[in-house]
Structure 1
């Protein structure tokens, strides 16, 4: 199950919860990212629109995005709101949740390969990527792109880095942007050697970002085509 490092969420955090019990006064929810920690949704925090019964809005087993409105870390008591979660916040949290699920699966596969536990994978890899890149899956995307180097930079040891990088490359395919340009080149002095020099001089003058490929094709002098593949439009 996807997890957070902290044992309880913080005020105003968005969390994924599964409805466990429904009562007339509210509902009890288990927090998927916090080891099944129970939280409470008061009746007044269920919906901003009128309803006859709380069961019109929530059902047992339902997963939803909630916002933390009260928390007592010492007593591990958490109150949640469903109505205070905007559509944009819900979409953003669900994307985060899906990325976290993918990240955990990769960590699990790496742990199995090394005959380690998932807890060890989080300790040796996951939390270090989160510290370095801000998100575990972001670190795994970097590993898919740059290999072991991206993991070693985050303090992951070599054995784990090798296993995780291999699995990340097998399971994460980063979307790429493709752009083509048509250019016309005419050489008035120096002939073909001067033209070839002009076509290759950019390699020394321009620093090509990581993950960017550039190819030149001739369409018949003086017309040429440049194909560029990159991870985003800015790099291309």
Structure 2
């Protein structure tokens, strides 16, 4: 399927391609965002360095980010370059391509469910939204909360509109991620315990509705700060601020903070490992308390 309204890309445009065949003159590729039409990366445009092995630079079946050098719509020739693409441009193109893939997946599902032509949905929904919002993917995300505004004046039936909205909600609604940071707090002054409590309260006080911060004791002096949010970047940023706040507060009591792990998104495996560590600490604390009682009775 063609992701964009133009049948051919424009000169200097970044596009995602998949390598089909490697020949003497270069590599034949298909443009994934333009209905798999064929293009060619000339051998001289594969790398800025001297080419000793083409196989190390490019492989059949692999996706590559390239830039369009020449387009001949009449003959169907599209010349591409890999060596003229910077690392920053690769990231930009990959993000754009992933957006297009997500939109296409939604459109294909809606077309199949409602028994309509996918290209017709592109013409009546995707391309008009792309012109208005920059990319249909951005419009789809906005439609989750503002469907009346986003879909206003678009040519589609109530059935298609309903199915499109429900599919967008399932596919594009952000999933919550857990962000965690491990820190050690020590304070040996006269008010040490109160200092640690005040510092932890100061960190938790930065919580918001979107990023609720919780701090738990693992085993002195180790604490874990965590939150669950749909906005990973905002969560990490707020937790960094909380660490700074805790550090400022504990210094007032002549205490110290050591950040054992900076805020980051953690997997279920890492979370389970932490839970086991906390359970072990609880068991050890219980054993110590029991031993002390027994020695006192003796």
TM-score (norm 2): 0.56
The 10-residue stretch of structure 1 (71-80 or 136-145) with the greater mean CA deviation from structure 2: 71-80
Tell me the CA shift for residue 161 of structure 1: 2.5
Inter-CA distance 126–115: structure 2 relative to 1 (3 Å threshold): same
Do the aligned residues in 1 keep the contact of 2:27 with 2:40 (CA within 8 Å)?
yes
Kindly indicate whether the alpha-carbon contact (under 8 Å) linking 2:4 and 2:127 is maintained by their aligned counterparts in 1.
no
Question: Unmatched 5+ residue regions in structure 1?
Answer: 177-223
Residue 110 of structure 2 corresponds to: 110
The answer for unaligned runs of 5 or more in structure 2 is: 177-204, 212-230, 235-298
Q: Which has the larger radius of gyration?
A: 2
Alpha-carbon distance in 2 for matches of 1:114, 1:137: 20
CA contact (8 A) 1:108 1:118 kept: yes
Which position in structure 1 is the counterpart of 2:38?
38
Distance in 1, matches of 2:64 and 2:117, equals: 29
Aligned equivalent of 2:11? 11
Q: Which residue of 1 aligns with 2:63?
A: 63
Task: Indicate whether 1:157 and 2:156 are aligned.
Answer: yes
Match of 2:29, SS? strand
* 1:134-193, Cα deviation, whole Å (9 max, x unpaired): 11111110112223x1432352435132221122112212478xxxxxxxxxxxxxxxxx
Secondary structure of the residue aligned to 2:33 is: helix
Q: Distance in 2 between matches of 1:130 and 1:65?
A: 21
Partner of residue 274, structure 2: none
Correspondence 1:77 to 2:77: yes
Secondary structure of 2:173's counterpart equals: coil
Distance 1:161 1:132 in 2: 18
In the alignment of these two chains, the number of paired residues is 187
CA contact (8 A) 2:143 2:151 kept: no
Once the 2 structures are TM-superposed, how far is the Cα of residue 226 of structure 1 from its aligned partner?
Answer: 8.5
> How big is the alpha-carbon RMSD for the aligned residues of Structure 1 and Structure 2?
2.7
Label 1:157 to 1:117 Cα distance change in 2 as closer, same or farther (>3 A). Answer: closer
Deviation at 1:68, TM superposition (A): 0.5
TM-score by length of 1: 0.70
The 3-state SS of whatever aligns with 1:33 is coil
Q: Distance in 2 between matches of 1:38 and 1:54?
A: 20
